[in-house]
Chain A
Amino acid sequence: MTTTTSAMQEGQGDRFEVEVLQYLDGLYGYAIHLTRNPEDASDLVQETYARAFKARSQYRLGTNARAWLFAILRNTFLNDRRSACRSPRTVSCEWLDELAGEDQDGFESPRSPDPQKSFIAGLMREDIEKALNELPEEFRSAVVLCDVEEMSYSEISQILGIPIGTVRSRIHRGRAILRKLLVEWQSSMEGSGGEVLKGG
């Protein structure tokens, strides 16, 4: 697997491109979650590919191109943001714990499955986006990569540069908060209709 002569790399060019370009949609989706707007997302993805093409010699075919690209994208985003604002925002864990509460899994079962189904069917893209935006980046990334991009904990751990156990707890807590916010918003819109979902 260590075929790194320049002759081999020439031949690998096209395969490399095919391999990295298949993740364009996923990268763009993730970029939207990070930047929160389509123009910045496009710029970020473009920059990611520019860096990936430049760094292609560091990449070995057959290894995880997806994790490699997503990590480049996230690092690019974080570096840009760091240089844009002097003081990096620190995450308030108290706020998170308060939101997640003791109910770390966030899935209080209603008496019957029907209210649960109608809650889920009533979810709108904008609501989910808004709820995801309430999460600190570390949690948002973990949930989006796991639940939207369907990545494994191990891939996510590579991308975020954190241990798998931390990935796991961020996903568990992130989902719980997401769900909690969405249930709260939906029940406040429907008046008494959502009470059954709040549980105890």
Chain B
Amino acid sequence: MRCSREASNIQDYISGELSEEGRRRLENHLSGCESCRTCVDGMLLFRSRIRDLMRVSAPPDLRDRIAMIKTGSGR
């Protein structure tokens, strides 16, 4: 089982929000705890998969529409 004590730290670690010291402590724990390590690896993979799948580019016509407001508003 994953250590429930670390659950919230792991979440913040994934978000890149742990303090320097918190990160050191967690990484120290991870080096000796396989289930937390599996959990972290899974969460990192899950997050990067979501990011890769959900990132989009704005459609070109929207870019044009915004350029129009720009020139239309002032100067």
Which residues in A have some Cβ–Cβ distance to B below 8 Å?
13, 17, 21, 24-25, 27-29, 32, 38, 42, 45-46, 49-50, 53-54, 104-105, 107-110, 113, 116-117, 120-121, 123-125, 128-129, 144, 146-148, 150, 152-153, 168, 171-172, 175, 179
Contact residues in A for B16 (Cβ distance below 8 Å): 150, 152
Contact residues in A for B12 (Cβ distance below 8 Å): 168
- B75 (CB) vs chain A CBs: closest residue: A13
B14: shortest Cβ distance to chain A, in Å? 8
Are B54 and A148 in contact (CB-based, < 8 A)? yes
Are A150 and B59 in contact (CB-based, < 8 A)? no
B39: shortest Cβ distance to chain A, in Å? 5
Are A123 and B11 in contact (CB-based, < 8 A)? no
| Per-position binary interface string of chain B over residues 1-29, scored 1 when its CB falls under 8 Å from any chain A CB and 0 otherwise | 11000011011100111000000000000
Main secondary structure of the interface of B (DSSP, over half): helix
A-B contact count (CB 8 A): 116
Which residues in B have some Cβ–Cβ distance to A below 8 Å?
1-2, 7-8, 10-12, 15-17, 35-36, 38-39, 41-43, 45-47, 49-51, 53-59, 61-63, 65-66, 69-70, 73-75
Are B66 and A45 in contact (CB-based, < 8 A)? yes
Q: Pick from A24, A121, A152: contact of B62, CB below 8 A.
A: A24
B54: shortest Cβ distance to chain A, in Å? 5
Are B53 and A46 in contact (CB-based, < 8 A)? no
Q: Pick from A28, A49, A144, A179: contact of B69, CB below 8 A.
A: A49
Are B11 and A172 in contact (CB-based, < 8 A)? yes
The residue in B12, B56, B65, B74 that gathers the most chain A C-beta atoms within 10 A of its C-beta is: B56
Q: Pick from B36, B42, B61: contact of A116, CB below 8 A.
A: B42
Contact residues in B for A108 (Cβ distance below 8 Å): 2
Q: Pick from B47, B54, B62: contact of A42, CB below 8 A.
A: B62
Are A105 and B7 in contact (CB-based, < 8 A)? yes
- B54 (CB) vs chain A CBs: closest residue: A148
Are A120 and B53 in contact (CB-based, < 8 A)? no
Are A53 and B69 in contact (CB-based, < 8 A)? yes
Q: Pick from B36, B51, B61: contact of A150, CB below 8 A.
A: B51
Q: Pick from A45, A107, A123: contact of B2, CB below 8 A.
A: A107
Are A109 and B2 in contact (CB-based, < 8 A)? yes
Whether A24 contacts B63 in the complex (CB less than 8 A), given A105-B7, A120-B42, A153-B17, comes out as yes
